[in-house]
Amino acid sequence: MVFLKFILEAYEGMNVMSTVDNVGGIIRIAIMEGFEKEMDELLAELGKKVAMEPAEWNETPAF
């Protein structure tokens, strides 16, 4: 997760990474509008070096 965090932070303004479950290694990447294609390409390339798989996450509002 730390490796991904530093790589994704290098692409400042394209995304925001947050940890959903640090024990399970689940992160959430919010992609800024207009950068979807670039992030898909970046994540595909990173997927060659780090095991990753997409996960569905439905956030329930806390109110």
Q: Which two tokens stand for residue 13?
A: 């303004």
Which pLDDT does position 60 carry in this prediction?
Answer: 66
CA atoms of 63 and 60, how far apart (whole Å): 9
Both structure tokens of 52: 């990753």
pTM value?
A: 0.75
- pLDDT, one tens digit per residue, over 11-62 is 989 999 999 888 888 899 999 999 999 999 999 999 998 888 887 777 665 5
pLDDT value, residue 17: 92
Q: What φ, ψ does residue 22 adopt, rounded to 5°?
A: -70, -25
Which residues have a Cβ under 8 Å from the Cβ of 50 and sit 6 or more positions away? 3, 4
